[in-house]
Amino acid sequence: MSYEVCNTINTIDGFIWEKLEGAVYVVEHNEMLKAYCPSKNKLGKNVCLSYGEMISSSVLLFLKWLETRYNYEDDLKNDKLAEYAILWLSYKLNKDPQDGIITLNDFYTKHIENNVKYNDKITNSSKTYKDIINKKQNLMNMNINDISQFYDAFKSLCSMYNELGDENPNCGKCSQKADEFVNKYDELNEDSNITGNNSYKKILTTLFDDYGNLK
């Protein structure tokens, strides 16, 4: 975990929002996502036609933003980075469920597998962005609702990293977020459905290790 990862997640999380138009809520996105949208309009320009395409583009932007400060040749770090991207992805999909998308594999098949932009080579690396996501194939058949349970712990952890990355960190806020993380961690660690699943247990261990790195 690093300040850069958490700051990037926090920034991208604000790139998609709902806006009330009349009696209907519509989903809009930051202009920066357009470069990574997979569809084209009549003028041949990139456009995201659905919430799913916006989320897929956000994950790609997350990986691209970090390529200048992250060593994508480090497989151990790639594992963690893919887990963080998947946690955020699961949170967004659980927050706004999409028809026909129950597992991450459903989303992967519809919005990542055939998205040619994920096949771009990473700068100074032999890998593609799809290679990073493919590192976590063991999570693809997991229910989105199950994986999203980890997001509260991840969010509290990121809040600590972001706070400590500021020039004048608020120690009281860090302490509060630390308590929130520990409480959520204990809750997850006492759930046999999580500790009895190797993939879920791996995510929990990753989060706890990154919490330990702050001490």
Q: What is the pLDDT of residues 158-193, one digit of tens each?
A: 988 888 867 777 778 888 989 999 999 999 999 998
Helix (H) or strand (E) holding 95: helix 75-95
Taking only the tens place, the pLDDT of each residue in 42-73 is 888 999 999 999 999 999 999 888 876 666 66
Beta bridge partners of 28: 17
Burial category of 168 from C-beta neighbours within 10 Å (exposed 0-12, middle 13-18, buried 19 and up): exposed
Q: How far apart are CA 26 and CA 108, in angstroms?
A: 24
Rounded to two decimals, the pTM is 0.86
Closest CA to 36 of 98, 111, 90, 124: 111
Taking only the tens place, the pLDDT of each residue in 8-55 is 888 999 999 888 777 777 788 889 999 999 898 888 899 999 999 999
Helix (H) or strand (E) holding 16: strand 16-21
Closest CA to 106 of 56, 63, 64: 56
Amino acid at 207: L
